[in-house]
Amino acid sequence: MACEIKGRFAPSPTGRMHAGNIFAALMSWLIVKSQGGSIVLRIEDLDVERSKPCYVDQVQRDFELLGLTWDEGPYFQQGRNEAYAAAFERLADVAEVYPCFCTRADLHAASAPHRGEKLVYAGTCRGLSREEVAQRMAQRAPSWRVTVPEQEYAFVDLVQGAFAQNLARECGDFVVRRSDGLFAYQLAVVVDDAEQGVNCIVRGMDLLVSTPQQMFLQDVLGLGRAQYAHVPLIVGERDRRLSKRDRDAGIEELLARFKTPEAVIGHIAALAGIIERDEPCSCADLLREFRIPVFPDNVQIPWQ
């Protein structure tokens, strides 16, 4: 039997939707539904401080209004500490996990990334002795990093094509548990996707560089791999990625400007080249003739 395709919406409830995350969710819905798959809604409320209860509801209403339907969920990350802790323990059994006492300033001083590249952790705390660890533990709570191999993680992205990253050279040992005790996004997302059966991950281009880290975690934890599509980001002036602060691209402003949810979807779809003419259409309309478009620039789409 062919494996069922399962995708997901994974919003962080830190604000209302905007053109950028509407586009990523639309692409997820279209790519998954056009393969006969289903969608899981997972509210990524791992970061208790940044997640706001009012947006947990609001983001679901926004999806509904736009016709971005889901088949399963909502699932949440809060309350799943046991599952993340179990994965963290398993990781510590099968890989090297060690405490890191570096501050943000230490991390920046130790590496000089080029613009847009990620910081490569220099491994500063990897070789600490037991005594040094005990001494530093008494002063501050550490974050926990996993040692990565000198190995290339390669995959073929449905939108970006072939992508590869040598984890040791281009990423370095990364954080799986933060110093405030929260499990890191990279770990939680891998555990959740596996448990919820998600095997088709469509999301913004900004997470492309995280995918090799997630593949490594999937491998060492014995979890299956997924298919990926990293879609271009919609960017504002000076190529700045749209955020919840860009008022003109927020869903309230979009509804005021375009009047109906269909007109909002039509505008975003036309901007991305999914349809030729900027006219109102529903997600279901787009699905009928959907093929992944060839984006002129796979990295970004200027907001208009």
Stretch that binds ligand GLU, among 7-15, 74-82, 83-91, 224-232 (CB under 6 A): 7-15
Binding mask 194-233 for ligand GLU (x = CB under 6 A): ---------x---x--------------------------
| Assigned token pair, 173 | 């040992």
**Residue closer to ligand GLU, measured from CB, 44 or 62:** 44
**Residue closer to ligand GLU, measured from CB, 14 or 81:** 14
Q: Shortest approach of ligand GLU to residue 66 CB, angstroms?
A: 16
Q: Shortest approach of ligand GLU to residue 137 CB, angstroms?
A: 31
Helix (H) / strand (E) containing 38: strand 38-43
One residue of 5, 12, 45, 230 binding ligand GLU per CB under 6 A: 12
Cβ atoms of 26 and 229 closer than 8 Å: no
C-alpha 303 chain-centroid distance? 21
Contact status: 11 vs ligand GLU (CB under 6 A): yes
Cβ atoms of 246 and 236 closer than 8 Å: yes
Q: Shortest approach of ligand GLU to residue 270 CB, angstroms?
A: 24
Binding to ligand GLU in span 166-195, by CB under 6 A: 189
Cβ atoms of 206 and 183 closer than 8 Å: no
Of the candidates 13, 66, 14, 76, the residue with the CA atom closest to the CA atom of residue 40: 76
**Residue closer to ligand GLU, measured from CB, 10 or 221:** 10
Stretch that binds ligand GLU, among 9-17, 72-80, 174-182, 245-253 (CB under 6 A): 9-17
Stretch that binds ligand GLU, among 8-16, 176-184, 276-284, 291-299 (CB under 6 A): 8-16
**Residue closer to ligand GLU, measured from CB, 188 or 275:** 188
**Residue closer to ligand GLU, measured from CB, 95 or 207:** 207
What is the torsional sign of CA 294, 296, 300, 304?
negative
Q: Shortest approach of ligand GLU to residue 139 CB, angstroms?
A: 33
- Beta bridge pairs of residue 302: 235
Cβ atoms of 220 and 95 closer than 8 Å: yes
Cβ atoms of 68 and 26 closer than 8 Å: yes
Phi, psi (degrees; rounded to nearest 5) at 174:
-120, 160
Cβ atoms of 212 and 153 closer than 8 Å: yes
Rounded-to-integer distance, Cα 246 and Cα 224, Å: 37
Q: Give the number of C-alpha atoms closer than 13 A to the C-alpha of residue 220, restricted to the C-beta side.
A: 22
Cα radius of gyration rounded to whole Å, the chain: 20
Report strand pairing: 200-204 vs 227-231.
parallel
Contact status: 30 vs ligand GLU (CB under 6 A): no
Stretch that binds ligand GLU, among 4-12, 149-157, 166-174, 282-290 (CB under 6 A): 4-12
Q: Shortest approach of ligand GLU to residue 212 CB, angstroms?
A: 13
Rounded-to-integer distance, Cα 239 and Cα 230, Å: 18
Binding to ligand GLU in span 33-52, by CB under 6 A: 44
Binding to ligand GLU in span 72-131, by CB under 6 A: none
Contact status: 265 vs ligand GLU (CB under 6 A): no
Under the rule (CB under 6 A), what is the footprint of ligand GLU? 10-12, 44, 189, 203, 207
